[in-house]
Amino acid sequence: MIRTFIIIALTGLVLASPSVLSQTNKAGQKSSSGKETVDQVTVYYFHVTRRCATCLEIEKTAKTYVESKYQGGKQVAFKTVNVDEDKNQALAEKYQAAGSMLLVVRGEKVEDITTDAFKYAYTKPAKLETRLKKAIAAVTN
């Protein structure tokens, strides 16, 4: 009986650990570039070197939206980050990006809209733009 309880308790701890770690890794760390301010929103598109058509479309749609709506990049900036490049390892580790990922970040607030990006970028780019707009609003409030 006690042995079963210990196994269940340890299993619960092991399963809970990654989610707890991911929350602490995303918050409270300074940007590796040091250029972003707490007031600025950054839309990060993380990717690997080899990309599919959908991945390329995610970047194109997100970048075009941010650059057209927030000209100059003072309030909202778009950054493409290749996680395969050594210079980007610290930033990729900070946001636990190992492949394609679309994040909207302001200070400690992070909105991960990767799922919606893959769902809409290729077939319904207007829906991805709407989702980006909502994510930007969510991190600024």
Query: So what's the pLDDT on residue 27?
Result: 38
Cβ atoms of 45 and 62 closer than 8 Å: yes
Give residue 28's pLDDT.
Answer: 38
pLDDT digits (tens, 9 = 90+) for 25-49: 333 334 444 454 567 999 999 999 9
Where would I find the H helices in 1-141? 2-26, 53-69, 89-94, 114-120, 125-140
Query: Both tokens of residue 97?
Result: 């990006």
Indicate whether 86 pLDDT > 90.
yes
Question: Into how many domains does the chain fold?
Answer: 1
DSSP string, 70-91: STTSSSEEEEEEETTSGGGHHH
Decide if 79 contacts 40 (C-beta within 8 A): no
Q: Is pLDDT above 50 for 74? A: yes
| CATH number of the CATH domain containing 24 | 3.40.30.10
Task: Quote the domain boundaries for residue 16.
Answer: 2-140
